[in-house]
Amino acid sequence: MPRVGIVSQARMTSTRLQGKVLRAAGGQPLLAWHVARLRQAGAPVYLAITTNAEDDPLADFAAREGLLFVRGSEADVLARYQQCAAAFDLDVIVRVTSDCPLIAPELIAEGLAAYRAAADPGLYASNAAPRRSYPRGFDYEIFSRQLLEEAFAHATRPGDREHVTPYLHQNRSGQVRFLNLARAADASQYRLTVDTPADFELIRILLEDYGAGALNGEELIALLAAHPELVAINAEVEQKGHD
């Protein structure tokens, strides 16, 4: 069986909300909610953090949680993923970002099942590219070590290195095949990722007042649909790059 790993990229020096992944809500850091939910997806979880001293708390967190991790370049996040895949001999990589404390593990599990069934190392599978139909905060991408190594070798633009997968989802090689795991009804208008104080406030309220940590993806979407006043909290936030 291919060796699958869920790799989450993390750093403490986010420009719009420094230290966001270790901010506490609902009694524990956002990163703890993120990791606990990822572990329900049925594959080992790894962290890809930077060598910056500011990220030492993330290494400490990983040690406490029993998480394996690698440390690498802040700007070259693609290299961090390649380093993690090599260090832990991963055949299949599930890429997620650590600013998604309410990521839906059942969606990742479904994606992995579909990816395995395809048995195609040239396949790139995602619920967010090339078309988004789930809330921001549920994003995942699945690709083979073969595709990761190809991107690592050939992606030269700074944006390619920072954002990891443009070389793949833009099909620069012309050889990538795609599986877009879409939701039947579009829910991409919702935002459950944390990049700003408004994002954090929404997640805090959801965790502390609505028990969101115990809800699955469809239950979270239904909750937001029923409470437009919650959606309004971060409706004006414009998306920037992750990490």
pLDDT in tens, the chain (243 residues): 899 999 999 999 887 788 999 999 999 999 999 999 999 999 999 999 999 999 999 999 999 999 999 999 999 999 999 999 999 999 999 999 999 999 999 999 999 999 999 999 999 999 998 889 999 999 999 999 999 999 999 999 999 999 999 999 999 999 999 999 999 999 999 999 999 999 999 999 999 999 999 999 999 999 999 999 999 999 999 766 544
Summarised one tens digit per residue, pLDDT across range 71-101 is 999 999 999 999 999 999 999 999 999 999 9
Is position 239 within any domain? no
Examine residue 223 and state whether it is found in any structural domain, yes or no.
yes
Which pLDDT does position 242 carry in this prediction?
Answer: 45
Rounded distance, CA 8 to CA 35, Å?
Answer: 9
* pTM confidence score: 0.95
Is residue 196 domain-resident?
Answer: yes
Tokens of 233: 């909290």
Would 12 be classed as within a structural domain? yes
Helix axes 105-118, 30-39, angle to 10 degrees: 40
Kindly state whether residue 178 falls inside one of the protein's structural domains. yes
In a domain, 24, yes or no: yes
Kindly tell me the burial class for residue 171, based on how many C-beta atoms sit within 10 Å of its own C-beta (0-12, 13-18, 19 or more): middle
**Residue 243 maps to a domain:** no
CATH number, domain of 74, equals 3.90.550.10
Output the 3-class SS for the chain: CCCEEEEEECCCCCCCCCCHHHCEECCEEHHHHHHHHHHCCCCCEEEEEECCHHHHHHHHHHHHHCCEEEEECCCCHHHHHHHHHHHCCCCEEEEEECCCCCCCHHHHHHHHHHHHHHCCCCEEEECCCCCCCCCECCCCEEEEHHHHHHHHHHCCCHHHHHHCCHHHHCCCCCCCEEEECCCCCCCCCCECCCCCHHHHHHHHHHHHHHCHHHCCHHHHHHHHHHCHHHHHHHCCCCCCCCC
Contact predicate 70/62, CB 8 Å: no
* Residue 116 belongs to domain spanning: 4-234
Question: What's the structural domain count of the chain?
Answer: 1
Alpha-carbon distance of 94 to 13, in angstroms, equals 23
Q: Is 130 within the bounds of a domain?
A: yes
